[in-house]
Amino acid sequence: MSTSLAVTKTKQAVLDMMRVLNIDPLSLRPFEETPTLEPFLLECIEEAHRRKYLSDPFQEKHVRIGAAVGHYVWLLPGNVGHKIAVLASLLMGFYYCVDDCCFEPRSLAEYGSRLVSGSPQLEKGLDDLTALNSELSDLYDPVIGDLLRMSHQAYMMGNHLEGAMVGTGTKWVVSQNAPLFPVVMKTMTSAATALYLLSFPPNTAFQDYLQTLPDGITIHINTADILSYYKEAMEGEFNRVEQIAQFHGLTGPDMLGELVRSMAVSHERVVRLLSASDSSGLLRSCHEMAIAGFITFQALHPRYKLRDFGIFSFK
């Protein structure tokens, strides 16, 4: 990302997204001023040690980033219970380990076939990840549990697919005969399904929120793409935003505005449906607090470099 106009448009998209979701960037406090964060990070690290998860390539740094997610998404809202907050945080830590290409390409390529056949994975960390995801999924109704398992396997395959499609520094062409490919493939292979479903307590009737799943996935994918675009653009990554923009003949920063509008429509639909299906307001609160938590984490974490925008009350 080289031009000041591109940076300005990206910054505006982030602000517009926060406005739609009623998040005031000036109200966000840095990690070091959040007293509940470090104790939860240490608890998750201790749990990872207890489970003997910490071995190459899965390290304490991955647990810390996963626990930072969990602190804002599951711990602070308190809707899903402490056990799920810890397990989901460890799962996110593993996902960041996968996303950072810490596992060997062959290990990811063979992950699904080994999972289905019951064969050991090629790396210990992937066996640990499989067991953790299964444990977390078993806490939910069988229908939601299966969706969580499917989302997990899709995410693992998606990381292998991304490497196969893109490669290092390679930009491929989105065919004019495949307009749905960037959107549908990201929907099918991201962790957005799991992230949305894990917003809700396991003892909640899934029939009350399942119809919101497509829009919930859209919200999670779009907000994540908007918040990570700045970092990925600086690194030259040909991400989904750039793929859709290429198809429509737009720049990446211009495409961000379209993603904000799409996210706003999906968010309004989710809120209306959850409000209608649950008069107590719990389900709506679960969704709103979880997505706000994800955005807070990404806004604050150095990984995403959003402090460069100067939109917070701190530097």
User: pLDDT tens, 112-135?
Assistant: 999 999 999 999 999 999 999 999
Q: Do 194 and 147 lie in a common domain?
A: no
Whether the link from the prior residue into 57 is cis, omega within 30° of 0, is yes
Question: Which structural domain range is residue 248 located in?
Answer: 1-33+184-315
Contacts of 122 by beta carbon, 8 Å cutoff, 6+ apart: 104, 106, 107, 110, 114
Q: What is the mean pLDDT of residues 228-250?
A: 88
Q: Do 18 and 137 lie in a common domain?
A: no
Q: Do 159 and 227 lie in a common domain?
A: no
Task: Encode pLDDT of 81-124 as tens digits.
Answer: 999 999 999 999 999 999 998 999 999 999 999 999 999 999 99
- For the chain, give the percent of residues with pLDDT over 70: 97
Contacts of 270 by beta carbon, 8 Å cutoff, 6+ apart: 212, 215, 216, 219, 287
* pLDDT at position 185 over 90: no
Assigned domain for 8 exists:
yes
Of residues 216 and 170, more confidently modeled = 216
Q: Do 28 and 69 lie in a common domain?
A: no
Q: Do 155 and 199 lie in a common domain?
A: no
Assigned domain for 78 exists:
yes
Assigned domain for 177 exists:
no
pTM of the model: 0.94
* pLDDT at position 79 over 80: yes
* pLDDT at position 168 over 80: no
Q: Do 204 and 287 lie in a common domain?
A: yes
The reported pLDDT for the residue numbered 2 is 61
Q: Do 23 and 42 lie in a common domain?
A: no
Assigned domain for 152 exists:
yes
Q: Which tokens go with 139? A: 């806490």
Q: Do 3 and 97 lie in a common domain?
A: no
* pLDDT at position 166 over 80: no
Hey, which of 155-159, 173-177, 189-193, 282-286 has the most confident mean pLDDT? Answer: 282-286
Task: State how many domains the chain has.
Answer: 2
Assigned domain for 88 exists:
yes
**pLDDT band at 170; cut points 50, 70, 90:** low
CA distance 54 to 56: 7
Q: Do 6 and 66 lie in a common domain?
A: no
